[in-house]
Amino acid sequence: MSERKIRVLVSVLGLDQHEAGALAISRMLRDSGAEVIYTGRFSLPSTIFEVATQEDVDVVGISAHSWEFLYYAEELVEMMSSLDPPVPVVVGGSVITDSDRQQVLEAGLHVVARGATDQEIVAEFHRLADPNVRAALAAAARP
């Protein structure tokens, strides 16, 4: 019996129109054996939540090439955290500076470090998709 493939939704949030990073991540994840659902550019948190729910994804990946994702970050994390188990949201991109990193983490996003290798990026998605990790995130979120 083969292990279930992880399911990842990849999107570009808000008015950010730069999708090269999202397409590259989608290919890397697909080549690693993940099932990838790509929503494209100009997605709002409600759209991402709806598609993620319909597609039963394990992780959401946001490609960021503008700072607009910060505006939507808390709303998206709140929606994805309401699922059982919660769906982690990973953000990566050229605009995430060291000073932005703390704000991103406080919003509840998981960050792919700038300069991470393809293998490190893929490994982080697979780690967050693990049912035990998702259960731990759910337990940590409970009051």
**Of 46 and 2, more confident:** 46
Is residue 141 situated within a structural domain? no
Q: Which CATH number characterizes residue 57's domain?
A: 3.40.50.280
| Average predicted confidence (pLDDT) for the chain | 86
Structural domains of the chain, count: 1
* Residue 128 confidence class, pLDDT cut points 50, 70, 90: very high
Is residue 97 situated within a structural domain? yes
pLDDT in tens, 26-36: 999 999 999 99
Mean local confidence (pLDDT), 56-66: 88
Per-position b or e across 44-74, b if 16+ CB within 10 A of its CB = ebeebbebbeeeebbbbbbbbbbeebbebbe
Is residue 142 situated within a structural domain? no
Q: Which pLDDT does position 63 carry in this prediction? A: 86
Is residue 32 situated within a structural domain? yes
Is residue 29 situated within a structural domain? yes
Is residue 1 situated within a structural domain? no
Distances in Å between the Cα of 71 and the Cα atoms of 43, 76, 127 are: 13, 10, 26
* Residue 71 confidence class, pLDDT cut points 50, 70, 90: confident
